[in-house]
Amino acid sequence: MIPVRGFDGAVVAVLGLGRSGLSAARALRAGGASVLVWDDNPAAREAAEAEGFEARTLTRPGAFDEVACLVTSPGIPHLYPAPNPVIAAALEAGVPVDNDIGLFFRSLGAGWEGYDRPPRVVAITGSNGKSTTSALIHHILTVSGRESQLAGNIGRGVLDIDPPGDGGVVVLELSSYQTELARALTPDVAVFTNLSPDHLDRHGGPGGYFAAKRRLFAEGGPDRAVIGVDEVEGRFLAGQLSEGQADDRVIRVATSKLSGPGWMVFARKGFLSEWRKGRQVGSIDLRAVAGLPGTHNHQNACAAYAACRALALGPREIETALHSFAGLPHRSQRIAEVGGVSYVNDSKATNVDAALKALLAFPKVRWVCGGLMKEGGLDALAPGLAHVSKAYVIGREAEGFALGLPGIETEVCRTMELAVARAAAEAQPGEVVLLAPAAASFDQYDNFEKRGEDFIAQVAKVAGAA
């Protein structure tokens, strides 16, 4: 646990008692704070009370009179589309609002005086690929013999980790919900993978969404910034952080060739290249890395490689670790091969951009797609539709989703069971049955993991019947 500093003897309120909220309450208490808690779920309140926390209705008059800070869980809206009533009451009372990420950064540096090498923090954000990039950085560090902990939006709650040891590295995946509100953001290395429209209602539009991501780089100023520059927002961010073309505090990452005197890592035709000061200093053939298929995963590999190079790892030890990376569940996860047909679970492709990258990774696809559609429509999928032999559409909005896919054959299946069965029956050797929904899962599943698990279960039925 990382005890929270700065609130010894103060009263702090915690809103939301899921994984991050309850761990924040424990860490605040370990740091000497008096902690009040609230969650709309009675069972969550009872669990917290069983640990000795006082539950208080935080919307009642005077609830914030003694409170020094409100700590809120990331899923609770604080601005758009409307503030949660508890957060609105805190703001009205002039009480600062923070989250567990902000508490982590303000509390991490205690007890490092005797270390030869101070611990480092690598923080990763972006629309797509941040989980794979985070896990890949952690994997490379671990295989290379470096102490590493993975936390934040993946792995453990950030305040649940052990205090890092001498030279240890904390790898944090951070969502826009987390970066938007944290009052302290001071990583040593910050990574921006890419940007595509997502969570726009929560951030009041694309500008607010980008601004939430940008805070990771603007609030504290990392020693090194790894920036994906395939989109205009990344190029803009890199330009804002850099003092000139040769400023190697910014490492530019792309899926096409880059040039110039700066530090850059790019993947072209399956080969990763590192250039610095106008000359190539590293190269890896990514085509042989089974756990990272497709251009989008090559971008993730470039970002992870750049972050590890910023931590002084060598190109060859990074390359060795890449080959043992198995990938993450529900992200380009190869499930089975039956009769020459491969089955790939990319349930995490919850938006159009992620699904497009998944389609482009395979030449012939039987595509299982659909779910709760997001703003912006499906037009951006057009470059990948040439790879689709047929789409099998699931979800409550299956008919409407299918209408948004002109020019390809579609079948409205609604359920995962029927979609997988139909795709398996029609797939030819060499094709891939790919779950890449391009939509949220909440119309049929609690989360994208449950959707992916259903796909895996249906593929197991197909494999058992073969």
* 54 and 126 fall within a common domain: no
* 259 inside domain: yes
Strands 263-268 and 271-276: antiparallel
* 1 inside domain: no
CATH number of domain containing 131: 3.40.1190.10
Of 328 and 46, more confident: 46
Determine the pLDDT at residue 306: 98
Q: pLDDT per residue over 334-388, tens digit each?
A: 899 999 999 999 999 999 988 998 999 899 999 999 999 887 889 999 999 999 9
* 230 inside domain: yes
CATH number of domain containing 440: 3.90.190.20
Q: Which of 56, 72, 98 is the last residue of a domain?
A: 98
Q: pLDDT per residue over 154-181, tens digit each?
A: 878 999 999 999 999 999 999 999 999 9
Q: pLDDT per residue over 244-277, tens digit each?
A: 999 999 999 999 999 999 999 999 999 999 999 9
Residues belonging to the binding site for ATP are 126-132
Determine the pLDDT at residue 291: 87
* 290 and 339 fall within a common domain: no
Question: What is the pTM for the complete model shown?
Answer: 0.85
* 168 and 228 fall within a common domain: yes
* 66 inside domain: yes
The residue segments making up the domain with residue 341 are 333-465
Q: Which of 322, 343, 377 is the last residue of a domain?
A: 322
Q: pLDDT per residue over 198-226, tens digit each?
A: 777 888 888 999 999 999 999 888 999 99
Q: pLDDT per residue over 273-325, tens digit each?
A: 999 999 999 999 999 898 898 888 999 999 999 999 999 999 999 999 999 99
* 353 and 405 fall within a common domain: yes
* 3 inside domain: no
Determine the pLDDT at residue 294: 85
User: By mean pLDDT, which of 5-9, 250-254, 325-329 is the weakest?
Assistant: 325-329
Determine the pLDDT at residue 196: 84
Determine the pLDDT at residue 332: 86
* 312 and 350 fall within a common domain: no
**466 band by pLDDT with thresholds 50, 70 and 90:** low
CATH number of domain containing 29: 3.40.50.720
Q: pLDDT per residue over 401-459, tens digit each?
A: 999 999 999 999 999 999 999 999 999 999 999 999 999 999 999 999 999 999 999 99
- What is the number of structural domains in the chain? 3
* 249 and 394 fall within a common domain: no
Q: pLDDT per residue over 21-42, tens digit each?
A: 999 999 999 999 999 999 999 9
* 134 and 281 fall within a common domain: yes
* 344 and 223 fall within a common domain: no
* 348 and 459 fall within a common domain: yes
* 291 inside domain: yes
* 104 inside domain: no
Determine the pLDDT at residue 455: 98
pLDDT tops 80 at residue 465: no
Determine the pLDDT at residue 40: 94
Residues belonging to the binding site are 126-132
* 21 and 41 fall within a common domain: yes
